[in-house]
Amino acid sequence: MSAKAIVLVHGGGQGAGFASAWDRLSSPLLGRPLISYVADAAARLRPASILLALADPDAASAAALSRPAGRVRVSVLRCRSRRGRATPGMVSALVDASPIIRKNRSRDILAVPADRPLVQSKTLKGLLASHRRKGCSLTILSCGPDLERDSIAVFRAEDVAPLLPALARAGGKAGLAFLAAMLRARGRRVGLTEIPDAGEALRVAGRADLARAAGLLRARKNEALARRGVTLLDPQSTWIDWEAKVGAGTVIYPLVVIEGASVIGKGCRISPHVHIMRSWAGARVKVLSSTVIEDSRVEDDAQVGPFSRLRPGTVIKASSKVGNFVEMKNTVFGPRSKAQHLSYLGDSLVEEDVNIGAGTITCNYDGVRKNRTYIGSGAFIGSGTELVAPLKVGKQAYVAAGSTITRDVGPASLAIGRARQVEKPGWVIERLKKLQKRTRPPK
């Protein structure tokens, strides 16, 4: 018998609160689809292939699930309908996979329900080892009272393949107990064991189960981060998605959310109420309170926040500072540059050592297209400035506070784009006299 198995990940029914079986299995769980947890646990066994037996996934989702997991080939088997509904249970999935099983008679078939996100690879590996050690044709790992629905099983393909036509003819009557009885009638050995960790048996049958599974997976994720040197000051209020990575020495404060495949480097400090989505942060980065970072990159020793927002496509270069109520979008902000207060930089390229004064705005949208603003190294942008793109401010140039700049500024130049101040002494007194005459009642 080959050392490698084929893993058959089979779907279940629609479930409570879900529009379809596929809606249930593709539901987001700690930042990734529910079904991906079982698929990944199976992939760590290094099987010959993984077969996803699913009830009518949409084409885009099926294509995404078919991508190789490491070196393991993954394919999607669309389950047939029986009695007017898709039946991707364990035995019916075996019947649907008949051609594959017949081609792989020398292998074992490990069948795992797709709605068990807490099952770990070590559990599957132990089941497979026990099955082979005892020489069974079928070994059942019981996860609950319902043998058909609440079990993981491994089959010897050469013993099950001859029974597939009979299972197909039996239709709805063919369950796991039916298959076990058929094997025993042929003198084959059937093993039964309990799952070693009851927590792994959780089945996501309804939307309430998603929250329970997320809580257990979140605890597992937080414990793994702690073992790697990450300090979570309040794990109960911290939400870190499964695929997120955090470096040793980083301190994460309460009420932090880190989503997607975000990466946080070593020695960072993530303050309360920070929300990071699919972003990358280097080493020793400080993200201060109430900051939102989305699809952006923050390089080593930079500081962002508090109350900053980095929108998609933003790159904060090393040792720069982005402060209170500053918003950036699709902007590269250069090394050691500063934008500390109340500014918006959109579609911009800011070089190193630039100072952005409070209230600076890049006017990047002309009603038809987005335009770029370029600010050269060492430039100084005074407070309350409007930079009307497309625009280039040269190196070491100064822009006077309160200016509206519509033309390029040369290097080392001073640009002033504001109206000349006019003062009229006594204007307020004269105005009040006029108002009093207008409002005086008639005699």
pLDDT value for 370: 95
Report the mean per-residue pLDDT for the chain. 89
pLDDT value for 421: 85
| CB distance 376 to 357 below 8 Å | no
pLDDT, tens digit, 9 for 90 and up, residues 145-176: 777 777 899 999 999 999 989 888 887 677 88
pLDDT, tens digit, 9 for 90 and up, residues 255-314: 999 999 999 999 999 999 999 999 999 999 999 999 999 999 999 999 999 999 999 999
pLDDT value for 60: 59
* More reliable by pLDDT, 77 or 230: 230
Select from 23, 180, 153, 36 the least CA-distant residue to 89: 153
Residue with tokens 């600076």: 360
Rounded to 5°, angle at Cα 176 from 173 and 181: 85
For domain 227-415, say whether CATH 2.160.10.10 is its number.
Answer: yes
What does 140-204 look like in DSSP terms, one character per residue? EEE-SS-TTTSEEEEEEHHHHGGGHHHHHHHGGG--HHHHHHHHHHTT--EEEEE-S-GGGG---
Name the β-bridge partners of 281.
Answer: 264, 298
Task: Determine whether 354 is exposed, middle or buried from the number of CB atoms within 10 Å of its CB (0-12, 13-18, 19+).
Answer: buried
% of the chain with per-residue pLDDT over 70: 91
Ranges in the chain annotated CATH 3.90.550.10:
5-201
What is the reported pTM? 0.88
pLDDT value for 67: 58
pLDDT value for 270: 98
CA distance 218 to 113: 21
pLDDT value for 274: 98
SS3 content of the chain, % helix, strand, coil (to 5): 25, 30, 45
Does 47 score more than 70 pLDDT? yes
pLDDT value for 23: 81
Residue with tokens 């699919």: 278
Note if the bond before 390 is cis, omega within 30 degrees. Answer: yes
Task: Determine whether 118 is exposed, middle or buried from the number of CB atoms within 10 Å of its CB (0-12, 13-18, 19+).
Answer: buried
Within 8 A by CB and 6+ apart from 205, the residues are 12, 15, 16, 115
Of the residues 10, 131, 275, 341, only one is catalytic, namely 341
Secondary structure (3-state) at 433? helix
CA distance 111 to 57: 19
Report, in angstroms and rounded to the nearest whole number, the Rg of the chain calculated over CA atoms: 32
In CATH, the number for domain 5-201 is 3.90.550.10
Instruction: Output the CA–CA distances (angstroms, integers) from residue 89 to 40, 53, 78, 277, 374, in the order listed.
Output: 20, 9, 12, 36, 60
First to last CA, the chain: 116
> Which region among 71-75, 189-193, 224-228 has the lowest average model confidence (pLDDT)?
71-75
- Cβ count near 365 (within 10 Å): 12
Average pLDDT of span 332-359: 98
Backbone angles phi, psi at 420, to 5 degrees: -70, 135
pLDDT value for 61: 61
CA distance 405 to 418: 9
- Encoded amino acid at 147, one letter: L
Strands 138-142 and 151-156: antiparallel
* More reliable by pLDDT, 389 or 144: 389
| CB distance 370 to 390 below 8 Å | no
Does 361 score more than 90 pLDDT? yes
Give, for 37, the enclosing helix (H) or strand (E).
helix 34-43
Secondary structure (3-state) at 323? strand
pLDDT value for 425: 93
pLDDT value for 84: 39
Any catalytic annotation for residue 341?
Answer: yes
Within 8 A by CB and 6+ apart from 344, the residues are 326, 327, 328, 360, 361, 362
pLDDT, tens digit, 9 for 90 and up, residues 48-104: 888 888 766 665 566 566 555 666 777 777 776 554 344 447 888 888 888 989 998
Most confidently modeled of 200-204, 286-290, 419-423, 432-436?
286-290
Strands 138-142 and 190-194: parallel
Ranges in the chain annotated CATH 2.160.10.10:
227-415
